[in-house]
Amino acid sequence: MMLLEEWIRKYGTVKDGDVLKVDSFLNHQMDVSLFDKMAKEWKRLFAGSEINKILTIEASGIGIACIAALEFGCPAVFAKKNKTRNIAGEVYSAKVKSFTHGTTYDVIVSRDFLGPDDKLLIIDDFLANGAALEGLLDIAAQAGAEVTGAGIAIEKVFQHGGDRIRSRGVRVESLARIKAFGPDGSIEFMH
Amino acid sequence: MMLLEEWIRKYGTVKDGDVLKVDSFLNHQMDVSLFDKMAKEWKRLFAGSEINKILTIEASGIGIACIAALEFGCPAVFAKKNKTRNIAGEVYSAKVKSFTHGTTYDVIVSRDFLGPDDKLLIIDDFLANGAALEGLLDIAAQAGAEVTGAGIAIEKVFQHGGDRIRSRGVRVESLARIKAFGPDGSIEFMH
């Protein structure tokens, strides 16, 4: 999606450790008019596919997921990063390893809000190593829900999470795919 | 707002300790078509007021704030619950005491995304003791931003945070105001 690439080039900054900072429009300040165009692009890409629920993960996926849900005419559910006790039997739960922070955390979704009738579009801001997306796929599998596909804003292709998940047969539509960062902070996109 | 009251009566459940569970449509599963109607109601209430940015707090404010931002035609910014070190000078920061969990946490907003030119509508899902809203007002004050008002989905009037904040001269528009919970789990609204 050219517009998102343009935004990344214009307002994104590359930090040490292949970190791309896009907090001026994507995950701290949120340009919802951009989110709206992203949602319309996913709607175009998944035209004809059955989707009755959006699934995402807190916190930075929520805004994009809600605008997408408005476009798809369905509710959104966000997986919570679990800070308290895990209420056995009441939630689906998966472990997610954060490569950025070197920590592992649990994500949970109430059993009330996902089930075998659901056809999910999973939405998230970033796909890098794929740990968060794999956690959401795990939760969808526990619920017996069908995953129609995943809509990602920015994929860091060189971190291979996307390849691994596509090889499992999951349709992943990333709106901007980054091949490499240059030593000068430049960004090379894959088309 | 009658529709939100209807949703609360229909899908909300009252738990011990005056906890109202609305996670089937407000803060875990999110009914974005309801959010859209809430956003239009705030737009009507704040018609003629200058608003160029929505400010909210993670996680459950983000969805409502983004749909409101789409309606108001402006960006949204969410205050982050700070888990790591506080980078001095780069962020505005406030302490928020959670009465539900008995803990205190820091919320931060990057200095890049709030300033003296901003006229804010603060959005959140709940207003009870008012601690989260006071944290956001504190951050707005640090930034020199003007607070046009606050749009709240559900106010628990009997916990008095709303009264205290209104008495400071802040305009607070809550779409559903709960006066009391009955011992049988019934909900009494204030009009």
Tokens of A179: 């091949």
Residue A114 φ/ψ, nearest 5 degrees: -140, 140
CB contact under 8 A, A33 and B73: yes
Q: Which CATH class is domain A2-189?
A: alpha beta
Picking from A66, A84, A113, the nearest residue to B63 by CB comes out as A66
Tell whether B21 lies on the interface with A, counting CB pairs under 8 A: no
Residue A87 has pLDDT above 90, yes or no: no
What's the whole-number average pLDDT of chain B?
A: 95
pLDDT of the residue at B83: 67
The pLDDT confidence band at residue A83, using thresholds 50, 70 and 90, is: low
Closest to A25 in 3D by CA, of B76, B23, B12: B76
- Express each pLDDT in A95-122 by its tens digit: 999 877 788 999 999 999 999 999 999 9
- Express each pLDDT in B96-136 by its tens digit: 998 777 889 999 999 999 999 999 999 999 999 999 999 99
DSSP state, B117? T
**Residues of chain B neighbouring A80 (CB-CB closer than 8 A):** 28, 59
Q: Going by DSSP bridges, is the β-strand pair A13-15/A19-21 parallel, antiparallel, or unpaired?
A: antiparallel
∠ CA B63-B67-B71, rounded to 5°: 160
Query: How far is residue B38's CA from residue B24's CA, in Å, rounded to a whole number?
Result: 16
Residue B40 has pLDDT above 70, yes or no: yes
The answer to whether A22 and A11 are in contact (CB under 8 A) is yes
- Express each pLDDT in B44-93 by its tens digit: 999 999 999 999 999 999 999 999 999 999 999 999 997 665 555 699 99
Query: How far is residue B139's CA from residue B94's CA, in Å, rounded to a whole number?
Result: 6
What's the whole-number average pLDDT of chain A?
A: 95
What is the number of other CB atoms lying within 10 angstroms of the CB of residue A113? 21
- Express each pLDDT in A24-81 by its tens digit: 999 999 999 999 999 999 999 999 999 999 999 999 999 999 999 999 999 999 999 9
Instruction: Please tell me the pTM assigned to this model.
Output: 0.96
Torsion of CA B24, A150, A83, A115, to 10 degrees: 40
B37 to chain A: closest CA residue: A70
Return the CA Rg of chain A: 16
% of chain A with per-residue pLDDT over 90 = 90
Which residue is it, tokens 């009391």? B180
- To the nearest whole angstrom, how far is the Cα of B169 from the nearest Cα of chain A? 27
pLDDT of the residue at A167: 98
The answer for residues whose C-beta is within 8 angstroms of residue A159's C-beta and 6 or more apart is A18, A128, A129, A130
- DSSP codes, B47-111: TTS---EEEEETTTTHHHHHHHHHHHTS-EEEEEEP-S---TTTEEEEEEEETTTTEEEEEEEEG
| Dihedral sign, Cα of residue A50, residue A53, residue A58, residue A61 | positive
The pLDDT confidence band at residue B16, using thresholds 50, 70 and 90, is: confident
Tell whether A120 lies on the interface with B, counting CB pairs under 8 A: no
